[in-house]
Structure 1
Amino acid sequence: MTIVNSLVNIAVFGIGGAIMVAALLGLLLVLSGSSRGIPPRLLTAFGAASIVLWVVLPALTALNEMSAGTGFWVGFAGASVVAVVMYAVNAAMLPMVARRQALVNGQAGLAGIKPTPSVLVGGLVICLAMALLVTGVMAFIS
């Protein structure tokens, strides 16, 4: 039963979070095509919303797992998978935003942005560290 609970948490929080991140990036794509461009405050708001989602949803996953009595490591695994799913969507969609911004602003350097393997691995390490942190906090709370 623990496996089913973990899969449900990953589906709800991971896929739901990935959809919310994709929606934020879609809005960013639409706004970047406007004639005025994107104001810096709006970019900051999008970044803050992404970070809040990226922290809160894995934390909720860990809390849900541990409140079911599965333990710290199962909560950490669930939080890690949710963080990695959201990171994968972000890493896949950000080059599209950069290309769109390059077309609007005429900056040719942005058009060829693609994440390197070292950047992707670094992001995965950050996802695991963040999942460990939020799982520890949730273990302390619950």
Structure 2
Amino acid sequence: MSGVNSLVNIAVFGIVGAIMMAALVGLLLVVSGSARGATPVVRGAFGVVSVLLLVALPTLAAVNSLSAGVGFWTAFATATCVAAVVYAMNVALLPVVARRRFAGQRSALASLRPSLPVLAVGLLVCVSLGLLGSGLAALLV
């Protein structure tokens, strides 16, 4: 039964995280497209919120998993998958952000595609976030 619980945690926290990340990126695009643009303080605040989101959601998923009585490694896998779903949303939104940023430069748009090494590093970041989240969850539970 813990396998179903982990899948539910991944679905709920992953989808909520993906929606929140999409909303955050959309809000940043709206703010940066305004007449005065986004100041460095606003961009920094968006970066801090996105990092907090990338740490908090896997941690909450791992806390929920550990509270259900599963082991650390199941909580780690759940947290890693939640981080991967949020990361996938960021990769999916990359062309939208790039079109907005490089509106007149076709060569910059054509060269902006995530390569296999970039995706592999992203997977390592997701594993690191999963380890951080499950470690924090183990301390909290």
TM-score after normalising by structure 2: 0.89
Contact between 1:62 and 1:134, CA under 8 Å: does it hold in 2? yes
| CA positional deviation for 1:60 | 0.6
* Residues 92-115 of structure 1, C-alpha deviations (whole Å, 9 max, x = no match): 112321220222xx5666534222
Question: RMSD between aligned alpha carbons?
Answer: 1.7
Q: Secondary structure at the match of 1:129?
A: helix
DSSP-derived class of the 2:7 partner? helix
Equivalenced residue count is 140
Q: In the alignment, which residue of structure 2 is the partner of 1:43?
A: 43
Change (3 A) 1:18 1:44: same
Q: Single out whichever of 84-93 and 29-38 deviates more from structure 2.
A: 29-38
Task: Flag structure 1 segments of 5+ consecutive residues without an equivalent.
Answer: none
Structure 2 residues without counterparts, runs of 5 or longer:
none
- Bigger shift: residues 78-87 or 33-42: 33-42
Is the Cα–Cα contact under 8 Å of residues 102 and 110 in structure 1 kept in the other structure? yes
Distance (whole Å) between structure 2 residues aligned to residue 123 and residue 107 of structure 1: 26
> 1 CA distance for matches of 2:107 and 2:137?
42
Q: Corresponding residue for 2:96?
A: 96
